[in-house]
């Protein structure tokens, strides 16, 4: 067997997946998906306070399970010919570590402490800290938020770290350093035993930790101490340099080679965020707007140095040299809620199923459970069928997509969602249609911001489960944007992108673009805007903007009371 295989590992919000890919053709041989066991039980999270934490042991458990399972599904002899492995993860998802680089939750005394765990991207407990970072940045000689859209978010590295330090004395006393999820996993399987030796991600730190070569890396010690003396010393124990994900960070340690059933010759690539590697997996090129559509969205673009010269795009999630494709500037935006908004409405409608049918004595327990489960599975498909029948001219309900705050444009996690225009005739399908339109309007706001800042967008690519499975959502998005949208053929674009980085790090390709050309999956379909609906949505979008301005003004007024 002369084939060369690579493994792409995609760690999402609820689960992780491993794909085994033929590095010479891009063919996916096997895929395995596993849910995080503790996360699935809702452990360590408190949605009411917007606290979302994940235990590092969850990540370890699914790593071993997905790789072994995928290898068992692949042809005999595959494991012996795996040459590279790479991770993408959610982000910003940091955790405090000890001097060995181990997340504190892996230590017995911190095993059940949520503050010792990875702080998931959607955790919004650090709104106060983000506000303080923004205030200080505007007063400081150097605006460290300049390359992060000019607004620091509670979803990001320093805000989360400071919040935990303020909240937890035990963490303050034990913490040596901080690591991003996408950095820790490569360090774990290459046998790194010292925090100082962890290879740091250009993607993670450029977009979320205010790292930039212009000011010598991370924000200065003086800035961090002025923010809060609790941050004193962390900068010196972190890093000055970062690396792009196409470079190897090492090879599999003996322990992990044995645990995964692979050899110690397997090259481990640098880590990056899921949406950035997903954009590579979707074959991103300059002037292409790639939408990674899931519970939230992450929007990625790449641009040449020449086109980005002297441009600072306001209100996005950063512009970073090499965060997507080395040799280009990567730009990130996104929505804090997309599929999560549909899931919220589904949960509202599930209430009578669980609380009324769930307590009935008219049917036996097993039948009752099956009826409830079947009904819950059918809610979104049924809403979709009915919502599709409603003409745009009857879309009198207007909603905003800020139920989990706003990521872009202009991050503000204090914002709440709003629905207006309700009447006694407003039924569930009409409300659902308004929510779908709201997520599309939020997408248009991002496109409009890029264009107003001089960023050219010629085409749109959608990836992720919603892009592949919901024609209604995608057609609405196409109509609102008034642009055609291609949908990536594979449902594992992020993992495929990770596999492309693994192949590049292993030396099969000289650069990521070469891996893209050979390994991309192509497109499953393309949506085209309907001219009449696009015209109608322009008027509705204006109403969305007005509603947004009103609710944002009110939120500012209420927060100051």
Transcribe 335-365 into DSSP letters. ES-SHHHHHHHHHHHHHHHHHTGGG-SSS-H
Q: How far apart are CA 496 and CA 515, in angstroms?
A: 10
Residues 6+ apart with CB under 8 A from 294: 12, 13, 338, 339, 464, 465, 466
Q: How far apart are CA 405 and CA 296, in angstroms?
A: 11
Q: How far apart are CA 48 and CA 52, in angstroms?
A: 10
The beta strands (E) that lie in 453-550 are given as 459-463, 485-488, 523-527
Is 59:552 a contact under the CB 8 Å cutoff? Answer: no
CA distances from 248 to 85, 266, 273, 507 (A): 10, 10, 16, 9
Dmax (CA) for the chain in angstroms is: 71
CA distances from 457 to 289, 319, 374, 446, 461 (A): 6, 16, 42, 11, 11
Global pTM value: 0.92
Residues 6+ apart with CB under 8 A from 399: 417, 418, 419, 420, 431, 434, 435, 437, 438, 544, 547
Radius of gyration of the chain (CA): 23
Return the pLDDT at 366. 87
Q: How far apart are CA 413 and CA 394, in angstroms?
A: 31
CA distances from 106 to 62, 83, 100, 116, 237 (A): 16, 29, 11, 8, 20
Per-residue pLDDT for the chain (561 aa), expressed as one digit of tens each? 578 999 999 999 999 999 999 999 999 999 999 999 999 999 999 999 999 999 999 999 999 999 999 999 999 999 999 999 999 999 899 999 999 999 999 999 999 999 999 999 999 999 999 999 999 999 999 999 999 999 999 999 999 999 999 999 999 999 999 999 999 999 999 999 999 999 999 999 999 999 999 999 999 999 999 999 999 999 999 999 999 999 999 999 999 999 999 999 999 999 999 999 999 999 999 999 999 998 889 999 999 999 998 899 999 999 999 999 999 999 999 999 999 999 999 999 999 888 888 888 888 888 888 988 998 999 999 999 999 999 999 888 999 999 989 999 998 988 999 999 999 999 999 999 999 999 999 999 999 999 999 999 999 999 988 999 999 999 999 999 999 999 999 989 999 999 999 999 999 999 999 999 999 999 999 999 999 999 999 999 999 999 999 999 876 555 544
pLDDT one-digit tens code per residue, 136-165: 999 999 999 999 999 999 999 999 999 999
Return the pLDDT at 363. 85
Tally of CA atoms within 13 A in the half-sphere of 104 that contains its CB: 27
Smallest CA-to-CA distance from 176 within 225, 130, 116, 241 is with 116
Distance, first Cα to last Cα, the chain: 70
């Amino acid at each position: 067997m002369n084939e060369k295989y690579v493994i792409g590992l995609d760690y999402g919000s609820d689960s992780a997946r491993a794909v085994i890919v033929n590095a010479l053709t891009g063919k996916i041989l096997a895929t395995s998906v596993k849910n995080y066991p503790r996360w699935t039980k809702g452990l360590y999270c408190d949605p009411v306070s917007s606290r979302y934490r994940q235990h590092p042991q969850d990540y370890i458990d699914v790593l071993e399970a997905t790789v072994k399972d995928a290898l068992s599904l692949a042809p005999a002899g595959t494991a012996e010919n795996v040459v590279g492995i790479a991770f993408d993860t959610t982000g910003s998802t940091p955790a405090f570590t000890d001097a060995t680089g181990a997340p504190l939750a892996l230590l017995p005394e911190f095993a059940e402490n949520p503050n010792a765990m990875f702080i998931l991207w959607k955790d919004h407990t650090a709104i106060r800290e983000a506000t303080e970072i923004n205030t200080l940045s505007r007063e400081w000689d150097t605006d460290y938020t300049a390359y992060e859209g000019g607004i620091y978010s509670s979803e990001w590295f320093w805000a989360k770290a400071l919040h935990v330090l303020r909240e937890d004395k035990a963490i303050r006393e034990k913490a040596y350093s901080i690591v991003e999820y996408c950095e820790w996993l490569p360090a774990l399987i290459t046998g790194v035993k010292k925090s100082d030796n962890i290879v740091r991600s250009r993607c993670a730190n450029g977009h979320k930790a205010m790292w930039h070569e212009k000011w010598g890396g991370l924000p200065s010690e003086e800035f961090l101490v002025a923010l809060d003396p609790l941050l004193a010393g962390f900068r010196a124990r972190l890093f000055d340099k970062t690396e792009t994900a196409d470079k190897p960070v090492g090879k599999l340690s003996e322990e992990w080679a044995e645990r995964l059933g692979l050899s110690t010759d397997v090259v481990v690539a640098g880590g990056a965020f899921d949406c950035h590697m997903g954009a590579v997996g979707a074959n991103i090129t300059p002037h292409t707007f790639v939408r990674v559509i899931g519970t939230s969205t992450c929007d990625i673009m790449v641009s040449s140095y020449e086109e980005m010269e002297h441009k600072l795009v306001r209100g996005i999630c950063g512009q970073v040299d090499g965060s997507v494709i080395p040799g280009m500037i990567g730009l990130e935006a996104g929505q804090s809620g997309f599929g999560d908004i549909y899931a919220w409405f589904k949960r509202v409608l599930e209430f009578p199923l669980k609380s009324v049918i769930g307590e009935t004595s008219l049917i036996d327990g097993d039948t009752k459970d099956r009826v409830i489960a079947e009904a819950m599975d059918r809610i979104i498909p049924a809403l979709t069928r009915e919502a599709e029948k409603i003409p745009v001219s009857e879309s009198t309900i207007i909603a905003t997509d800020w139920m989990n705050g706003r990521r872009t444009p202009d991050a503000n996690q204090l914002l709440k969602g709003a629905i207006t225009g309700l009447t006694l005739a407003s039924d569930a399908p009409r409300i659902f249609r308004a929510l779908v339109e709201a997520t599309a309007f939020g997408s248009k706001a991002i496109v409009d911001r890029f264009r107003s800042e001089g960023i050219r967008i010629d085409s749109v690519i959608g990836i992720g489960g919603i892009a592949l499975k919901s024609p209604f959502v995608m057609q609405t998005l196409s109509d609102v944007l008034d642009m055609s949208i291609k949908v990536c053929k594979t449902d594992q674009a992020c993992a495929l992108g990770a596999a492309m980085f693994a192949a590049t790090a292993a030396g099969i390709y000289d650069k990521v673009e070469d891996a893209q050309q050979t390994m991309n999956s192509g497109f499953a379909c393309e949506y085209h805007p309907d001219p009449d609906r696009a015209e109608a949505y322009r008027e509705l979008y204006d109403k969305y903007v007005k509603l947004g301005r009103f609710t944002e003004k009110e939120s500012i007024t209420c927060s100051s009371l």
